Amino acid sequence: MSSCADWTIAVFSKILIANRGEIACRIIRSARRLGIATAAVYSDADRGALHAVLADEAFWIGPAPARESYLDGVKILEAARQCGAQAIHPGYGFLSENADFAESCAGAGIIFIGPPAAAIRAMGDKAQAKMLMEKAGVPLVPGYHESEQDEARLAESAAALGYPVLIKPVAGGGGKGMKIVSHATEFAAALASAKREALSAFGDDRVLIEKYFSRTRHVEVQIFADGEQNFVHLFDRDCSIQRRYQKIFEEAPAPSLSNELRQAMHETALSAARAIGYVGAGTVEFLLSPDDGTFYFLEMNTRLQVEHPVTEMITGIDLVDWQIHVAAGSTLPLRQEEIFSHGAAIEARLYAEDPARDFLPQSGRIVRLDFPEPGEHIRVDAGVRAGDVIPIDYDPMIAKLIVWDQDRVSAVRRLRTALAETRVAGLAANLDFLRAIASQKAFNEASLDTGFVERYAGDLLAPPEPAGSEILAMVVIGLLCERAASVRRQAERSADPWSPWNSQNGWRLNEHARETVRLREIRPKGSSDRVIEVIYLREGWRLGLPGGSFFHAGGTRAPDGTLSVDLDGHRLRGVFVRSGEEMLVFRGTESGHRFALASPIAGAARGGEAPGRLTSPMPGRIAALLVEPGSFVEANQPVLVLEAMKMEHLLTAPRSGIVKEFKFKLGSQVAEGVELVTFETGPPPDAAHDIRPPDT
């Protein structure tokens, strides 16, 4: 990446980073290269977090909820004053697009590393931004962008546009609060949900309505400007592959664009930035028709984007370096004709979420986390390490894997290898889903649009094949090695470590010792038990596998979990990981296989949830109660909304019946697995018990 050799103005001696996770860690790296000291902030949930450890100093700013910590500008400014920081870098999310906070920084004599408050305000209100862009001649998606928020007026606008429509928060981004509405009968419920999510995430429940296009590409242009109003673009990115309106794959440059179309989008993005007197890094996002090349202004993000590394990989420019220098008063070091694009870069976002459960966010401890070796072709931006906890209070991102190569075909091939070398254990992650996308024929052919995930869901979310004999043998050998290590440690502590009773191999004098291992393979669509017979030999074991096959086996397990196995002379390598009661085995580029020790009693105990109960799938807050106690509901009818990890999750009735009792009040925090609602069987009540939202 470019150095600061061409800059003419000295930068700050210390900056405070008003963020967390991978973006805070990434900013620290650039600051360190520039010789700038860094201060981090952290909440109760982030004590010991990687960003707080990497910074030169760190300040506690409050409890876990973002509103009481990372969104509290007063506490962050106080931390900046305490440490003597001359500037604050907001990263993305949280306060990065908060015009009031940018003004507060100026009032406190601290530089905000971002655009002027006026530019943030102009583009932060999406409705006002669209009106401004319309005046500047930028093409807009048809929709309702006015200030009146009466439900009847919004519904009328949706009907006039014609369904399907998209409800979208006026403030914020990241897909939060966005709802696709296919029919007028769904509008009221979707609007209420969008407003709740928007208020929770951004403190503003205003929305706009746009025509929803089922087949479009999401293409954006990275722009940069300095205080002298010199503007450049740093080419484009495609971010079409999304789930829940959030990007999961991004690449630069956007593939399959003609030179004329690419140039038109670049010029339109620069026109949008000039219209508001922009300064710093920004991204202008467009919806692009893959059929006729028509494009529409979507929004402008007045901050650094999550996907900025792919632009850095193709240009060699460190965007955080540029942000810091421009904030310090420097002019841009390069003119447009001096900025070049080389090769192709792709980014995949690794999240703690369960694709098999509609991408339900996960929280918990990461037991194992392996990434490919970084280098010229591979970059890993991570904010957590093995042993860290993904908290319930924030976005569940684990890391971003970014690859670069001379062309897109080579970059895709490198991406598949990088994903194959990545491992996550301890909680569910979307790694297999990412691997499936990278192997999908349409992705390899760059046939991209925002409906990609839905179109190929059957392939992308297909459950993995059951473990074969070699995997079963490997997990048993991992268990036997683990047990042997435990016995060895016990023997070392014994008064007579050479006692034959401390034998580690299970061998007996006059006969072969035997035991039966019952494994439960844990799979997305249910579990199954597999029985393996182990016969202890003088050297190794004889394993009897389901189906009647046998292996003469041996093996060792290193302290880091690396497993070396010999099955009838066939040598295999893998990784054995223990995560509480679960065991995971990774072999080569295969997905991890999950197991637990099973017994008939355990199987009966795990036979399923008792009928008539609705439990919380994860820790969260009760955001809405959708029916009255005493109401009759059909099976799978929505009964409450759980808010967790910045998103709303609609929970439905497990069976038809009468809602007997809500166990928690509106706004209550609940733990994973607790009972939320009880039901009782019975016929539908009379018309006096119609279903409607309670007064809350």
Which active-site residues does the annotation give?
Answer: 303
Candidates 515, 505, 502; CA nearest to 538 is 505
Query: What type of residue sits at position 319?
Result: L
How far apart CA 387 and CA 282 sit, in angstroms, is 35
Both tokens of 352, joined, read 């703690």
CB environment 64-79: b (16+ within 10 A), e (fewer): bbbeebbbbbebbbeb
Query: What type of residue sits at position 238?
Result: D
**Exposed / middle / buried, residue 56 (Cβ in 10 Å: 0-12, 13-18, 19+):** middle
Strands (E), 190-326: 207-211, 217-225, 231-238, 242-243, 246-247, 249-252, 280-288, 295-301
Pairing of strands 37-42, 14-17: parallel
How far apart CA 693 and CA 696 sit, in angstroms, is 8
Q: What is the CA 285 to chain-centroid distance, rounded?
A: 20
Q: CA 493, 499, 503, 509: dihedral to nearest 10 degrees?
A: -170
Helices (H), 146-291: 151-161, 187-202, 259-275
Question: Mind spelling out the 3-state secondary structure of 353-387?
Answer: EEHHHCCEECCEECCEEECCCCCCCEEEEECCCCC
How far apart CA 265 and CA 254 sit, in angstroms, is 11
Candidates 21, 80, 78, 86; CA nearest to 52 is 21
Candidates 386, 403, 399; CA nearest to 350 is 399
Yes or no: say if 211 and 191 are a contact pair by the CB < 8 Å rule.
no
10 Å Cβ neighbour count for 316? 12
How far apart CA 34 and CA 27 sit, in angstroms, is 11
How far apart CA 132 and CA 98 sit, in angstroms, is 19
Q: Is residue 256 helix, strand or coil?
A: coil
Yes or no: say if 452 and 251 are a contact pair by the CB < 8 Å rule.
no
First CA to last CA across the chain, in angstroms? 54
Q: What are phi and psi of 551, to 5 degrees?
A: -130, 135
